[in-house]
Structure 1
Amino acid sequence: MKTTIYYFTGTGNSLAAARKIAGALGETELVPIASLADTPGIISPAADRVGIVCPVYDCGVPVMVANFAERLDLSKARYAFAVVTMGGMGVSALHQLNGIFIKQQNRKLDAAFAVSMPGNFPPLMRSVPAERCGKTLSKADKRLGDIAEAIGSGRLVSPGFAPLSGLVKALSYGSLAKSAHDAGELFSVSDACTGCGTCAAICPAGNLTLVDGRPAWGRKCEICCACLHFCPTEAIQLNVMLGTEGRGRYRHPDLTVADMVSQRGE
């Protein structure tokens, strides 16, 4: 049975999850959502099973993922699923995807899953120590194995009841969705910048360019913070809440710069 998994990732958690599930299912195509962001029209995968794997932002899904879901045609899929990776809470993101598919196609997801992985939004939480991070990833791998088994057997799994997550989403996600693309204005770069261009190369939204050897943000940011986490000199800061100075950086240990570059499909 063929499976197509569409994924979005900023620091690698969701790509690692997608790969784990794909490896267990076999005959699975992994397609980066970022590579289709500028492609107009409906996306109609020719697969028996179709899934979305993405992170949670403010208890919802990234704006790029929400926009993609509105264009994803599930009419040919016998089984549709979603997996969200989260550093805290976020089951409401699964309800959001369900709502999109019900509104657009009058169809619910057949299965919806949430996986706890290391948090990676420095203004809200410091990066966890490597030892604790490893334990979290080990638990996530076991959870992902169970998820793959459920998908492989065609099990119906509801997202569950998450009132607190839903409340947080109701209070904060709307403003994130409205302002996300302009969030580049909240980033700054220090004199530690070497002009290496890594930030521009790995941005899933293609939102960064180098101007006079320094990064400049455009107006299609997803607030994934890939630029911040991948900067080899930690020259990039996000100036909201508690800021990011000295709060650590994170990326999944299996994620490479090449993985991020290829996410744009270029």
Structure 2
Amino acid sequence: MKTAIYYFTGTGNSLAAAQRIAADLGDAVLIPIASLQSTSGEITPQADRVGIVCPVYDCGVPVMVAEFAARLDLSRAAYTFAIVTMGGMGVSALHQLNGIFRERQGRGLDAGFAVRMPGNFPPLYRPPAGKKCDRTLAAADERLGAIAEAIGCGRAVPPRFAPFSTLAKAISYGSFAKSVHEADKDFSVSDACTGCGTCARVCPAGNITLERGRPAWNHRCELCCACLHFCPVEAIQLHVMRGTEGRGRYRHPDLTVADMRVQREGGTF
């Protein structure tokens, strides 16, 4: 049974999850959602199983993912699923996708799964490091193995009830979604910047250009913070909440700049 897995990632957790699921299922293709932003109209996957894998932002899905899901035609799919990766709460993101599909398709997800992975929003908390990070990734890998088994069997797994996550999403997600593209106004770059251009290469939204050797943000931000985490000299800071100065950086140990470029420019794994 062929599987199409559409993914969005900022620090690599969701890509690692998608890769693990694809490897376990076999006959699966990974398709970056960011590479489809320049296309218009509905998207009809040529696959029996169709899934979305993405992180949780403010207890919902990234705006780019929500917009993509509204364009997805699932009429040919026998089984649909979603996996969200999260550092804290976020099952409400599965209910969001389920609602989008019900409104668009008249059918919801056949299965929805949440996977705890290293949190990576330094203004809110320090990303885990060392053995703590390793333990979190190992537990996530074990969880993903069980998820792949459920998907492979075609098991129905409705998103579980999550009152606190649902309440948090109701409070915060609307304002997040409304203002996220302008959120890049809170980024800055210090004199430590070397003009290497890594930030521009890893941005899935294609939101960063180099002007006189320094990054400029162009108000298409998804707040994935790839620019922040990938900067080799930590010259980029985000000035919200507690800020990011000295608060650590994170990306999945298997994620590369090349992976991020594939995400924006298109290509499959």
When normalised by structure 2's length, the TM-score is 0.98
For 1:35, the aligned partner's letter is S
Tell me the SS of whatever aligns to 1:118. Answer: coil
Aligned match of 1:169 = 169
Shift of 1:152: 0.1
Aligned match of 1:155 = 155
- Could you list the per-position Cα deviations for residues 166-222 of structure 1 after superposition, in whole angstroms to 9, with x for gaps in the alignment? 000000000010001111101000001000000001100000000000000001100
For 1:221, the aligned partner's letter is C
CA distance, structure 2, for counterparts of residue 43 and residue 104 of structure 1: 12
- Could you list the per-position Cα deviations for residues 96-146 of structure 1 after superposition, in whole angstroms to 9, with x for gaps in the alignment? 000000111111100000000000000001021221000000000000000
Tell me the SS of whatever aligns to 1:264. Answer: helix
CA distance, structure 1, for counterparts of residue 127 and residue 155 of structure 2: 35
CA distance, structure 2, for counterparts of residue 21 and residue 201 of structure 1: 26
Tell me the SS of whatever aligns to 1:145. Answer: helix
Tell me the SS of whatever aligns to 1:54. Answer: strand
Shift of 1:66: 0.1
Aligned match of 1:207 = 207
- Could you list the per-position Cα deviations for residues 13-45 of structure 1 after superposition, in whole angstroms to 9, with x for gaps in the alignment? 000000000000000000000000121110000
Instruction: Show structure 1 runs of 4+ deviating over 2 A.
Output: none
- Cα RMSD after superposing both structures: 0.6
CA distance, structure 2, for counterparts of residue 261 and residue 183 of structure 1: 22
Aligned match of 2:70 = 70
- Could you list the per-position Cα deviations for residues 72-91 of structure 1 after superposition, in whole angstroms to 9, with x for gaps in the alignment? 00000000000000000100
For 1:21, the aligned partner's letter is I
- Could you list the per-position Cα deviations for residues 33-79 of structure 1 after superposition, in whole angstroms to 9, with x for gaps in the alignment? 00001211100001000000000000000000000000000000000
Aligned match of 1:97 = 97
For 1:216, the aligned partner's letter is A
For 2:168, the aligned partner's letter is V
CA distance, structure 2, for counterparts of residue 45 and residue 120 of structure 1: 31
CA distance, structure 1, for counterparts of residue 59 and residue 35 of structure 2: 24
CA distance, structure 2, for counterparts of residue 131 and residue 33 of structure 1: 32
CA distance, structure 2, for counterparts of residue 215 and residue 193 of structure 1: 9
Percent pairwise identity: 73
Aligned match of 1:86 = 86
User: Structure 1, unaligned stretches of length 5 or more?
Assistant: none
Shift of 1:2: 0.2
Aligned match of 2:18 = 18
Aligned match of 2:132 = 132
Tell me the SS of whatever aligns to 1:94. Answer: helix
CA distance, structure 2, for counterparts of residue 262 and residue 19 of structure 1: 14
CA distance, structure 1, for counterparts of residue 108 and residue 203 of structure 2: 31
Tell me the SS of whatever aligns to 2:60. Answer: coil
CA distance, structure 2, for counterparts of residue 252 and residue 211 of structure 1: 29
Aligned match of 1:38 = 38
Aligned match of 1:108 = 108
CA distance, structure 1, for counterparts of residue 18 and residue 128 of structure 2: 22
For 1:87, the aligned partner's letter is G
CA distance, structure 2, for counterparts of residue 236 and residue 81 of structure 1: 35
CA distance, structure 2, for counterparts of residue 130 and residue 190 of structure 1: 27
User: Structure 2, unaligned stretches of length 5 or more?
Assistant: none
Tell me the SS of whatever aligns to 2:265. Answer: coil
